[in-house]
């Protein structure tokens, strides 16, 4: 059951969550869950889980990706940041070659 009447009003819009406003433990858990859920394909080489987590954390620091909370279903995910014009800067979190 949702908190709003879906037939009478649209769901609330997603909310961008600044990663620095989360506790270190919450941020770590969110990024780990995201990496496990996404199962990112890194090609022929095997990338350790810890490396993938560190890459996503770096992408958050560089503002290449952002955390989004969707109040419509109470979910949280990490998505590619958008440029001011509204077009994606990248295809999404993936291998960080730095």
Q: Where are the domains of the chain?
A: 15-80
Range with the poorest average pLDDT among 8-12, 24-28, 31-35, 62-66: 8-12
* pLDDT for position 94: 53
Q: pTM (2 decimals)?
A: 0.71
Q: What was the pLDDT predicted at 86?
A: 45
The tokens of 23 are what? 């506790």
At 30-61, the pLDDT tens digits run 999 999 987 656 666 788 999 999 999 999 99
How far is residue 35's CA from residue 57's CA, in Å, rounded to a whole number? 11
Q: Which CATH superfamily is domain 15-80 in?
A: YehU-like (1.10.10.610)
Asked if the model's pLDDT at residue 25 lies above 90, the reply is yes
Average pLDDT in the chain:
81
């Amino acid at each position: 059951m949702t908190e709003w009447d879906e037939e009478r009003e649209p769901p609330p819009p997603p909310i961008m969550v600044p990663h620095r406003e989360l506790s270190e433990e919450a941020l770590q858990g969110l990024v780990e869950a995201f990496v496990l859920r996404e199962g990112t394909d890194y090609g022929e080489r095997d990338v350790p889980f810890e490396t993938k987590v560190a890459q996503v954390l770096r992408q958050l620091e560089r503002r290449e990706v952002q955390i989004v909370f969707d109040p419509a279903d109470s979910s949280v995910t990490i998505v590619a940041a958008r440029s001011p014009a509204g077009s994606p800067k990248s295809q999404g979190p993936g291998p960080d070659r730095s």
